[in-house]
Amino acid sequence: MEAIKGLFNLVADPRLFFLLSVVALVLIVWKREAFAKLSVGYGLMGFLTAFFLFGLFDENFVLIIAKPDNVPIVALIFLVVFFTWYSMREAVLNDQRVAAGEDVIEKQESDRVWVWPDLVYTELIALVLCSAVLVVWSIALEAPIEQPANPANTPNPSKAPWYFLGLQEMLVYFDPWLAGVVLPSLIIVGLMAIPYIDTNPKGNGYYTFNERKAEITIFLFGFVILWSSLIVLGTFLRGPNWNFFGPFEYWDVHKLEALNNVQLSEYLWVRGAGTALPDNILVREGVGILLSLAYVTVLPVLLAKTVLKRYYEKMGPTRFYVGAFLFLMMLSLPIKMFSRWLVNLKYVVSIPEWFFNI
């Protein structure tokens, strides 16, 4: 029992958690035909159910899972897993049909349906069900009145609303102006830009994977791993002082984590060259600045000429560079996470004098 809990606590460590998520994504994409099997779907849902049932016997687990605010996030886990699996299964089935020279499933259905009953009736049913669920929710998960917020006595941990927990997680790795301003803006701009970047008409109106391999993989990485699972992590696994706690661990405010992180400039000058940090800020941070600039300017060009040449030719320069820029910004989060975990890198560019850190 304790060993199983210990295992889960270990796996839930953000480093391992993230790594395993990425591995899982690779496996899902790579072995999608196996993943799409009904048995895998049942197995996944069964495993999740078993996990939560198992957890109900643990005091600390229940404390955090059964908190009324958190219960919907449990539902979110089930929903995200289910729909990821379901869409992948539908896509695999269609791809198999296409490979066998048949039409996709959606083609066989009529492309026009009656407003009544098909549209209005289903809308009514949805309305009724949503109302009922909201009523049950408000009765079963109580939201008691508390005292007015006191800025002199903030809760520990202070958590953002659930849908922002992914952003809050970014604050661990980035300066607030990046994690709180630049990256969220780019997420919104990027989502708006998608229809203009991705003009591939294939896959419209039916499930497919083979025809949109890169797009779907990027989406799964961005949404399931960088967004949804960071919400789950922020809800259940971040405790007092924003320290990480395993799902079966007691949230002790005294738990400590050594945040011994090092700037890139320190790596270069103090540890590498064995000298003190230069006084001139630009000299001190020069390499970091160049690296950062190269990341968004040189790297896309290199990619266009080498590994992504095919895409460059297909998309044209504007689409390609905008897309590559957004993609690289997305990737900057895992890159920063890994460089923190592997080499304790604090900032690539650190100019506290100007309140500027990357």
Partner 1 sequence: MANKKSVGHAYNVDFLNVVFAASSLFLFFTTIWMVFDDFDREWKGYQRQFVLLEGYVTSLSLQAAQAGIDQDRLQQLNAERAAAEQELAANGQRVAELESQLADVEADFYLANQQYNFLKADYDVERYAYEELQEEHPEEAAELRPAIDDMYDRWVELGMRVEELVARRDDLRAQIGEFTGGVADADDEIGELTAEATRLAALVEDLQVDFVGDVLLNAPLLDFMAPSLTVQQTITPNVHDELNFIRFQKMDRCRTCHIAIDREGYEAYPQPYTTHPRLETYVGSASPHPLATTGCTVCHEGMGQSIGFVHSSHTPETEEQMHAWEEQYGWEVPHLWDYPMLPTDMTEASCAKCHTETVYVDEAENLNLAYGLYERAGCYACHTTTGFTDLRKPGPNLTKIASKLSPEWVSSWIRDPREVKPSTWMPRVWYNSNTSSPEDAVRNEVEIDAAVAYLFANSEEHDFAVLFPPRGNAERGQELVESVGCLACHITEDQDRLAAGTRRTFGQPLQNIGNKTSYEWLFDWVRDPTHFSSETYMPDLRLTNREAADIATYLSTLTGPDGRGAEATYDDGEVTAVLLDYVRSILPTAEAEELVGGMSLDEQRIDLGQRVIGRYGCFSCHEIAGFEGAQPIGIELSEEGSKLLPRLDFAFVHDIPHTKVEWFKQKMRDPRAFDRNRVLQPLEKLRMPDFEMSEEESKLFATAIMSFQSDVQPLAAKPPRSARNDALRDGRNLVRRRNCIGCHEIEEDGGDYVALVDDPSLAPPMLTPQGAKVKPDWMYAFLQGPIPIRPWLDVRMPSFGLDDAHWNGVIDYFGAISDTVGEFRTHDILSAAAVPREGEELFDLLRCQQCHVLDTIPADQPTDNLAPDLRMARERLQPDWIVDWLRAPLEIQPGTRMPMFWTDFPASPYPQLDSDGPRQLEAIRDYLLTFEGGPSPIRGN
Chain residues in the site for partner 1 (CB under 8 A): 107, 109-114, 117-118, 121-122, 124-125, 128-129, 131-132, 135-136, 138-139, 144-153, 156, 253-254
* 120: helix, strand or coil: helix
For residue 302, CA distances in Å to 297, 305, 311 come to 9, 5, 13
Give the sign of the dihedral formed by CA 154, CA 156, CA 158, CA 162: negative
Q: How far apart are CB 40 and partner 1 at their closest, in Å?
A: 27
Rounded Cα distance between 227 and 207, Å, is: 22
Nearer to partner 1, 118 or 313 (CB): 118
Nearer to partner 1, 79 or 113 (CB): 113
Nearer to partner 1, 10 or 120 (CB): 120
**Which amino acid belongs to residue 143?**
A
* 244: helix, strand or coil: strand
Q: How far apart are CB 58 and partner 1 at their closest, in Å?
A: 16
Question: Phi/psi of residue 57, each to 5°?
Answer: -85, -5
Rounded Cα distance between 261 and 341, Å, is: 10
What's the N-to-C CA distance of the chain in angstroms?
43
Q: How far apart are CB 248 and partner 1 at their closest, in Å?
A: 16
Least Cα distance to 251 among 148, 171, 159, 136 occurs for 159
- Containing 350, the helix (H) or strand (E) segment is strand 350-351
Q: How far apart are CB 152 and partner 1 at their closest, in Å?
A: 7
Q: How far apart are CB 331 and partner 1 at their closest, in Å?
A: 38
CB 348 within 8 A of CB 293: no
Least Cα distance to 159 among 138, 167, 174 occurs for 167
Q: How far apart are CB 342 and partner 1 at their closest, in Å?
A: 30
Q: How far apart are CB 124 and partner 1 at their closest, in Å?
A: 7
Nearer to partner 1, 111 or 353 (CB): 111
Nearer to partner 1, 90 or 175 (CB): 90
Q: How far apart are CB 236 and partner 1 at their closest, in Å?
A: 19
* 147: helix, strand or coil: coil
53, two tokens: 């049932």
CB 228 within 8 A of CB 309: no
Nearer to partner 1, 63 or 294 (CB): 63
Least Cα distance to 235 among 71, 22, 20, 89 occurs for 71
Nearer to partner 1, 23 or 133 (CB): 133
Nearer to partner 1, 27 or 134 (CB): 134
